[in-house]
Amino acid sequence: MDNPFPYRLYLVISEENCAGRPLVEVAESAVRGGVDVVQLREKNRSTKEFLQKANALKEVLDSHQVPLIINDNLEVAKQVGAYGMHVGNSDLPPSEIRKKWNTPHCLGYSIEYLEQLNSPEAEVSDYFGVSPVFATPTKTDTVTEWGLEGIAKIRSLTSKPLVAIGSMKKDNTFEVIKAGADCIAVVSAICQAQDPQRAAAELRNEIERAI
């Protein structure tokens, strides 16, 4: 796979974060605003429910040629024919996913400790989630709040694409990209916005201004 992660604005979405609106509508608005990759992250659903949502989301994303990444669940990723998966330290390791999912797929891996960068799991991953850059109520079971210094440190240790996640918003996007991130991943800044298309467009403008 040639450069499997050339993306800049990454929506991480679940129904429960969409303020009562249908997930697929929020995702499509966000794509119209400039999101170029989407991760479906359903933490409290059965595989069957997760798969139903993934199928509905994939249909819409396909019509915009936007790739779908599945959080944590290899079965769902395989069955929906996802572009890739994102996993962290408590999940099926990337090396196991590579063995169980044959054709090349894009794999993202969360970095919570610097030591992970030298691991076999990092070696087989296509991009790293710098997780979290700033503390966030959306995910509280985190280890290191990396901050701008953390992004710069990780940037100095790897050439793989870095995805900044955790309280990313319009006001901090410029400095986070300047610190060394390649891509911004957001939940609340788009899913909770009154106008997800506009919120995505504003984030995208900040990214373009910084690169």
Ligand X SMILES: Cc1ncsc1CCOP(=O)(O)O
Ligand Y SMILES: Cc1ncc(COP(=O)(O)OP(=O)(O)O)c(N)n1
Question: What torsion do the CA atoms of 168, 169, 171, 176 make, to the nearest 10 degrees?
Answer: 30
Q: Select the residue interacting with ligand X from 23, 27, 177, 187 (CB under 6 A).
A: 187
Whole-number minimum distance, CB 136 to ligand X, in Å? 3
Alpha carbon 111 to chain centroid distance? 13
Q: Select the residue interacting with ligand X from 29, 73, 125, 131 (CB under 6 A).
A: 131
166 near ligand X (CB under 6 A) = yes
Q: Select the residue interacting with ligand X from 168, 183, 184, 200 (CB under 6 A).
A: 168
Which of 47-55, 59-67, 86-94, 113-121 is the region at the interface with ligand Y (rule: CB under 6 A)?
86-94
108 binds, among ligand X, ligand Y, Mg ion, none (CB under 5 to 8 A by kind): ligand Y
138 near ligand Y (CB under 6 A) = no
Count of residues that bind ligand X according to CB under 6 A: 14
Angle, CA of 35, 135 and 83, to the nearest 5°: 35
Q: Select the residue interacting with ligand Y from 29, 125, 131, 172 (CB under 6 A).
A: 131
Residue in this structure with the two tokens 């989301």, named with its chain if needed: 57
Nearest to 71 by CA among 105, 36, 40: 40
Cβ neighbours of residue 12 closer than 8 Å, sequence gap 6 or more? 38, 39, 41, 71, 165, 185, 186, 187
Residue in this structure with the two tokens 């201004």, named with its chain if needed: 209
Binding-site residue positions = 39-43, 71-72, 91, 110, 136-139, 187-188
